[in-house]
Structure 1
Amino acid sequence: MKADLIIKNGKVFNKEALWEHTAIVISDGKILTVGTDAEAVSSAGPDTEVIDAHGNSILPGFIDSHLHATMCAELYLTKLIYDITREEKESREAYIGKMLAPVKAYAEENPDMPVVRATGWNPAFFQTDPEGPPTREDVDKICSDRPVILRSYDHHSILVNTKALEMAGIDAHTPTPRMGEMPRDEQGMPIGLFQELSATCLLLDSLKEADFSVEEYIEGIGKFQEEHAFPCGLVGIFDAYATPNAIKAYRSMAMDGSLKIRVRTAHLADLSKPFSQFQQMVDEKGKYDVGDIFKIETVKFFCDGGGFTFYMNEPFEKEALAEAGLTEDYRGFPQWPEEEMKEACLVLAKGGYQIHMHCMGDGAVKQALNCYEYIEQNGVNGKRNTIAHIMCIAEDDIKRMADLNIVGSVQPTWPVIDAFTDCLMIPLLGRKRSYEQYPIGRLVKAGVTAAAGTDFPIVPDLNPMMGMQIGMTRTIPKEAPDYEKYKGIISGPEEDPRSDCLELEEMIESYTLSGAYQMFAEEITGTIEAGKCADMVILDSDITSVAPMDIGKIKVDTVIFKGERVKG
């Protein structure tokens, strides 16, 4: 069989042969052979395309194991208010004015826009403010005639104006969603702030204007591919839950061939809906799948939230609790009652679903593992169940994760000691817990499969090369604005700071084969070997000769997906 495409003069990453091979032969979207240049060129025909890799690295195509691609609609269709920081001693009123000023200008510039959307404000700047968080009255000052919807950067909070509450039919008589937060004023009227899943779902389900249309999602996904995924070398993603409109958008693109990355997404376990939602998911399993390009095989649970809604084994720091008016034993809370979550997981596991749990605190991780053990105790083998993020975890639960074969969906760029850690995390968790956060190395050493992701666009850097750099060094990159202050500080246990650093080959595997494994796609992608889909990237450098602190500067030169060159 003659080749459609030959890549030669490269350094091919292959787990068994490491960097020994130099060439790849591709035909009909599949890898025919991997070997030497001489072997490859013998397969060339008159129409064979040949790419010279110029001695640079050839890796399997990258997979991001936890992001939110459909949220890219927000990047193009909302006002972005990320990175508006609150200065020390800045008053609540002054900061809210600064935070909302761009939204006010955006609303004035778009008078015909039926709903004003913005994304990126940070609730952490209000967590210890004695005057409390912003309210609907604050938002009314900038726009009162149309609904205004302000999503926080982490998507755990939504702030709206009075008009949005009126259109949603939410008032003083609306019950507070269980396990969610909907603060009220002295008259019992919601102040316009919805925090954690059940509360935000109540708002979003009640206000149809809050979500994007199918057409808007298609536009956002298309731009995600062209402007973010292809430049970063992504050939596969796990989109960590999609709305019904977003699912329709993915399916439409998969059907018409415009989806050029392999996508897995998830249904959302919604506290605001009845328990029967889980049987409905089982009954509809496979309904939206399109070949191997788009599938829903997963259900996502939020086990805890952010900030003071992390669910911890031990209380938050005393000073922070005192400033926030919380009791000394406060350690956050679970999003789901454990017994209810166990039964839901069992229904889903019996129905063939993978379960993906958002867990920041070690208390949340413990609850997730209790649920996964419950599945096994009831005679059902877990289907590559996953825990995402894992900011903190007890040592004995690391072993439990390995014993239960739980996948860790981890974010290698997160464990960095920087101004965010200093100003927000250490006051909340203390120095020890903050320095030991995201113990990816200890997970891998215990035998846990660690599949790397970014949580993009909640975290704006999608670049797997930077993920590899920080995963290997666990220190602040040179490009960071506060590099000089924090350079050389390694995020890890005080007695062995480098215990959570990974080696280059481990980082590459976390962004390739481990991601494919989490997505049930390791038989077709994730490695460069004969018979698999021709999914690969050619870098602009030989990654093995680049210093670890410079790996983030490496660029993806060429991306090949199913044998088709989609970049380069």
Structure 2
Amino acid sequence: MGTSVADLVLRGGPVHTMAGARPATALAVRDGRVLRVGSDEDVRDLTGPGTEVVDLAGRAVLPGINDAHLHATWLGALWPHTLFGDTGAPGMAPERPLTTPAERRAAILRAGDLLAGLGITSYTEPGLGPGEDAGSTGAFGTSVVEQYRDLAAEGLLKARVTALWLYGELDGPSTLADFRAGLATVEGAGPDPERLNFAGVKIFADGIPPMRSAYTHHCYADGSRAELLVAGGDDAEREANLTRMVLDAHQAGLQVGLHATGDRSIDLMLDAVERARAEHDVDLGHYVIHGDLVSAAQLDRMARLGVGLSAQAGIAVRTVGVVNAALGPGRAEGAWPFQAALDAGVPLCLTSDSPVLPPDWRREIAAADRWMGPAADPRQRVATLLRCYTVHPARQDGAADWKGTLAEGMVADLCVLAADPLELTAAELPDVAVDLTVLGGRVVFERAV
């Protein structure tokens, strides 16, 4: 890549590129991209009078963290409150509606500051659009879209944002007619899709098991059954309408993120994607959101069809009791099969769903490790789970060719941790401080010492 002088050099500590490269202790950045990765000596000729040099002193460099399912505007409105406590089912959100454009702008900026302090350089807003223009929170309607566009144009976003359009209600119903009307008005990504990109659409297929609203093949423990959230006169019509939504989005070249927790709703998603790929064989990175009750057979299909999974380990460990109460004793222990997903080759993104949970990826990795049980190699487990916050989310964003790793030529999105996570167990990770966050070669957070 030549011998141009670097804008930024980090040296003197482990650099984990997540790109399968040889061990490195230094990284050089120019014009927002990784210029060179190697030893301290390898970057010496790239350091000039104008180069900002960071002495790592043994601290570790990782690719920037990507939370692939995080409601940042809502988080900015509610923080430090979240919907979940330490145990049990989610509670009611505090009444803090965003009622003006200025309030929405401030919430996005507040979330950006919080996330930068956690080393998060990318996140997905999973559902913004007209379906929530009359929503009670004010955090998901088209006014939020306008604020994101303005902030991106002004260069004020502290993370790269991927968003999904929403043409129904958040956690609520949608109709095929409204969905099709929305698809007809989809706007482009904007002037810089690496900063703000509307990648696709979100559809709510069902609810969640603790509320007995997941769409399952079997009755709940009390004998009840759930219906799809997609409108229709009966189960068959609702299923046909959901299938049509997925097919229409695929035909329009849009990614589908389907909120599906029940095994029956996941089957419908996979059947629709298989049909869509047969009609127009292009991998758009469709994915299942949550996927609580996904089965081993479904994971194999997902891997074959290129369907990803975006899930929350923190919810799994907090809801064992209420899920068993809803589904029957012992059912929760077979839910959220993270290891099986990885073994099947499904791109697994660990996410916070914040403000359902706090947006702390270190705690989510620890929760996933706890849920998965003892590991033969605890430190290799950490490396594997870190990919669920870097490499796999970049793939979900359709951006694996330019972010998610620190290979030469990739965007210089990174964070510096006070200790090397690959020398720790997952349980130790939440105590490791984030010292520095860099977005596109620019420092957006530095911890005061």
Contact 1:275/1:344, CA 8 A, preserved across alignment: no
Structure 2 counterpart of 1:409, from 307, 310, 326: 310
Answering whether residue 6 of structure 2 is matched by residue 7 of structure 1, we say: no
One-letter amino acid of the structure 2 residue matched with residue 60 of structure 1: P
Contact 1:342/1:375, CA 8 A, preserved across alignment: no
How far, CA to CA, are the matches of 2:244 and 2:401 in structure 1?
A: 31
What corresponds to 2:371 in structure 1?
Answer: 474
Query: Quick one: structure 1 residues 11 and 19, their matched pair in 2 at CA, closer, same or farther if it must change by over 3 Å?
Result: farther
Report how many residues are paired. 416
**Which of the pair has more CA radius of gyration?**
1
How far, CA to CA, are the matches of 1:507 and 1:289 in structure 2?
A: 33
CA drift at 1:274? 5.6
How far, CA to CA, are the matches of 2:31 and 2:276 in structure 1?
A: 42
Contact 2:19/2:407, CA 8 A, preserved across alignment: no
Structure 1 counterpart of 2:215, from 294, 300, 311: 311
* Partner deviation per Cα, 1:450-477 (whole Å, 9 max, x = no partner): 1221100011x211112222222327xx
How far, CA to CA, are the matches of 1:80 and 1:55 in structure 2?
A: 35
Structure 2 counterpart of 1:35, from 25, 33, 38: 38
How far, CA to CA, are the matches of 1:259 and 1:312 in structure 2?
A: 40
What is the correspondence of 1:341-352 to structure 2 with a 5 Å cutoff? Answer: 341-352=242-253
Q: Secondary structure at the match of 2:177?
A: coil
Cα RMSD, aligned residues only? 2.7
Unaligned runs of 5+ in 2: 129-140, 231-237
What corresponds to 2:225 in structure 1?
Answer: 331
How far, CA to CA, are the matches of 1:443 and 1:83 in structure 2?
A: 25
Structure 2 counterpart of 1:421, from 320, 327, 348: 320
One-letter amino acid of the structure 1 residue matched with residue 365 of structure 2: M
Contact 2:350/2:365, CA 8 A, preserved across alignment: no
Give runs of ≥4 in structure 1 deviating > 6 Å.
Answer: 83-87
Structure 2 counterpart of 1:539, from 417, 422, 426: 417
How far, CA to CA, are the matches of 2:292 and 2:150 in structure 1?
A: 36
One-letter amino acid of the structure 2 residue matched with residue 350 of structure 1: Q
What corresponds to 1:567 in structure 2?
Answer: 445
What corresponds to 1:245 in structure 2?
Answer: 143
* Percent identical residues: 23
Query: Quick one: structure 1 residues 434 and 263, their matched pair in 2 at CA, closer, same or farther if it must change by over 3 Å?
Result: same
One-letter amino acid of the structure 1 residue matched with residue 399 of structure 2: A
Q: Secondary structure at the match of 2:183?
A: helix
CA drift at 1:394? 2.3
Q: Secondary structure at the match of 2:316?
A: coil
Q: Secondary structure at the match of 1:468?
A: helix
CA drift at 1:412? 2.9
Q: Secondary structure at the match of 2:69?
A: strand
* Partner deviation per Cα, 1:430-466 (whole Å, 9 max, x = no partner): 233211221111011001111221100011x211112
CA drift at 1:514? 0.8
CA drift at 1:333? 1.9
Q: Secondary structure at the match of 1:265?
A: strand
What corresponds to 2:66 in structure 1?
Answer: 63
What is the correspondence of 1:127-166 to structure 2 with a 5 Å cutoff? Answer: 152-153=92-93
* Partner deviation per Cα, 1:153-181 (whole Å, 9 max, x = no partner): 4x9xx9xxxxxxxxxxxxxxxxxxxxxxx
How far, CA to CA, are the matches of 1:378 and 1:366 in structure 2?
A: 18
How far, CA to CA, are the matches of 2:217 and 2:283 in structure 1?
A: 25
Structure 1 counterpart of 2:271, from 367, 370, 386: 370
Query: Quick one: structure 1 residues 547 and 447, their matched pair in 2 at CA, closer, same or farther if it must change by over 3 Å?
Result: closer
What corresponds to 1:357 in structure 2?
Answer: 258
What corresponds to 1:259 in structure 2?
Answer: 157
What corresponds to 1:220 in structure 2?
Answer: 107
What corresponds to 2:359 in structure 1?
Answer: 462
Contact 1:73/1:216, CA 8 A, preserved across alignment: no
Contact 2:11/2:25, CA 8 A, preserved across alignment: yes
Unaligned runs of 5+ in 1: 88-119, 123-151, 159-208, 322-327, 476-489, 491-496
What corresponds to 1:431 in structure 2?
Answer: 329
How far, CA to CA, are the matches of 1:81 and 1:524 in structure 2?
A: 33
Structure 2 counterpart of 1:285, from 182, 187, 195: 187
Answering whether residue 192 of structure 2 is matched by residue 294 of structure 1, we say: no
How far, CA to CA, are the matches of 2:425 and 2:175 in structure 1?
A: 51
Higher relative contact order (CA 8 A, sep 6+): 2
What corresponds to 1:100 in structure 2?
Answer: none
Query: Quick one: structure 1 residues 16 and 29, their matched pair in 2 at CA, closer, same or farther if it must change by over 3 Å?
Result: closer
What corresponds to 1:231 in structure 2?
Answer: 117
How far, CA to CA, are the matches of 1:433 and 1:249 in structure 2?
A: 43
CA drift at 1:273? 5.1
How far, CA to CA, are the matches of 2:225 and 2:384 in structure 1?
A: 34
How far, CA to CA, are the matches of 2:45 and 2:329 in structure 1?
A: 60
What corresponds to 1:553 in structure 2?
Answer: 431
How far, CA to CA, are the matches of 1:401 and 1:360 in structure 2?
A: 14
TM-score (norm: length of structure 2): 0.86
CA drift at 1:61? 0.3
Which 10-residue stretch deviates more, 406-415 or 292-301? 406-415
CA drift at 1:26? 0.8
CA drift at 1:49? 1.2
Contact 1:267/1:298, CA 8 A, preserved across alignment: yes
What corresponds to 1:400 in structure 2?
Answer: 301
Structure 1 counterpart of 2:49, from 46, 51, 54: 46
Contact 2:15/2:23, CA 8 A, preserved across alignment: yes
Contact 1:10/1:58, CA 8 A, preserved across alignment: yes
How far, CA to CA, are the matches of 2:435 and 2:86 in structure 1?
A: 35
How far, CA to CA, are the matches of 2:185 and 2:394 in structure 1?
A: 26
